[in-house]
Amino acid sequence: MSVRRRTAVATGGTVGAVPRPDPVTSEPVGPGERIDPLTGHPTWIVPGRQRRPNLPTEGCPFCPGGLEAPEPYAVRSFPNRWPPFPEGRAEIVLYTPEHDASFADLDPDQARRVVDLWAERSAALGGDPSVAYVLVFENRGPEVGATIAHPHGQIYAFGSVPPAAAGELEGSRTARGLGPGAEGDRLVCTADGGWRAWVPVAATWPYELLAAPVSAVPDLPSLDDEGRSGLAGLLVELVGRLDRLFDAPMPFMLWFHQRPFDGGAWPTAHLHLHLAPLLRGPATPRFVAAGELGSGVWFNPVDPHDAAARLREV
């Protein structure tokens, strides 16, 4: 498996590609990627994002006629004004012109438009030779960091395969975690349209969900017509179930893992969706605390079998 990699940093008002700095012998200054010498974990230093607007009270920039959507639209993508990366490798995706809608409110055609746009932008960004990985994701609700309420997601295009995705691609992990029978009958939440969704047996988050096509597909652009419509319908259903769980919109984090765009074969790649809801009870968030961050071991207060049963009921 080959990995195409460039690390881009901004210096002196220009953007250039440079080798990743040695974490021990160099002392990087200014924005850009850094590697922690103790853990080896990558971090992007992006002080410019401190200037992002937070929950504007007047004039949504994502509504038609707003700053980021001057013309009418059905779905729309555009470069993020406050990107974590240089060279336009971060985008916003607007799901609907309706400010107060949620993904659960979208009709099948509108949800399919969102899936098609995810696939289109994944292919376009992944075609850039400086890009090795495309992450499609959403933060829903101010509780998980969404600064604008209008329904939207984001796309980040990484210069290397990020650790979370790379770890899943190692050896037989994808087959064990996503292959036939991986979910177990009692953990399945729903299955339809060529997709299935289940609560992971070792879920980190209460009511956490994994979803994947029944027949392995490597990435969003590779989904056929049936697979795209199936994903659209599944997302509408899953978000609706989560919202009905506590009779309130569920704050969550959602992301897709797909085949890297670095030119490697990646035979174990299997497109899938992670959905991490924040609440463990009505208006009660699940906090990640020191015992977990300090140990790397997670403690989930909701049994995955109970979570799956609840989600099937609502």
Q: What is the pLDDT of residue 183?
A: 67
User: CA angle 213-217-221, nearest 5°?
Assistant: 110
In a domain, 44, yes or no: no
Residue 267 phi, psi (nearest 5):
-65, -20
Biggest alpha carbon distance in the chain?
Answer: 57
Looking at the structure of the chain, the number of domains it has is 1
Given a cut of 60, whether residue 15 has pLDDT beyond it is no
Given a cut of 60, whether residue 151 has pLDDT beyond it is yes
Q: What percent of the chain has pLDDT over 70?
A: 89
pLDDT winner (highest mean) among 43-57, 69-83, 162-176, 184-198:
69-83
Of residues 158 and 178, more confidently modeled: 158
Model pLDDT for residues 205-222, shown as the tens digit of each residue? 999 999 999 999 999 999
Verify whether residue 152 is a known catalytic residue: yes
Cα distance between residue 253 and residue 107, in whole Å: 22
Model pLDDT for residues 232-285, shown as the tens digit of each residue? 999 999 999 999 999 999 999 999 999 999 999 899 999 999 999 999 999 999
Tokens describing residue 161 = 């395969």
Quickly count: other Cβ atoms within 10 Å of residue 172's Cβ: 9
50 contact partners, CB below 8 Å, separation of at least 6: none
Tokens describing residue 93 = 């995706």
Cα distance between residue 256 and residue 211, in whole Å: 9
Give the lowest-confidence range in 163-167, 172-176, 257-261, 289-293. Answer: 172-176
Model pLDDT for residues 221-232, shown as the tens digit of each residue? 999 999 999 999
- Per-chain mean pLDDT for the chain: 89
Nearest to 273 by CA among 113, 135, 111: 135
Quickly count: other Cβ atoms within 10 Å of residue 281's Cβ: 12
Nearest to 151 by CA among 43, 51, 74, 57: 74
Mean pLDDT of 137-147: 94
Model pLDDT for residues 89-117, shown as the tens digit of each residue? 999 999 999 999 999 999 999 999 999 99
Which residues, listed in sequence order, are joined to residue 135 by a DSSP beta bridge? Answer: 156
93 contact partners, CB below 8 Å, separation of at least 6: 75, 76, 77, 114, 117, 118, 121, 136, 152, 153, 154, 155
Given a cut of 50, whether residue 6 has pLDDT beyond it is no
Tokens describing residue 280 = 């463990």
In a domain, 3, yes or no: no
Cα distance between residue 310 and residue 314, in whole Å: 7
In a domain, 243, yes or no: yes
Cα distance between residue 189 and residue 174, in whole Å: 20
The active-site residue out of 41, 99, 150, 152 is 152
In a domain, 39, yes or no: no
In a domain, 33, yes or no: no
The pTM of this model reads: 0.90
173 contact partners, CB below 8 Å, separation of at least 6: 167, 268
- Residue 172 lies in domain: 61-313
- SS3 state of residue 3: coil
Cα distance between residue 3 and residue 49, in whole Å: 28
Given a cut of 80, whether residue 29 has pLDDT beyond it is no
* CATH assignment of the domain containing 224: 3.30.428.10
Q: What percent of the chain has pLDDT over 90?
A: 76
Is 69 in contact with 61 (CB distance < 8 Å)?
Answer: yes
CA distance to 138, 183, 206, per residue, from 203 (Å):
19, 11, 7
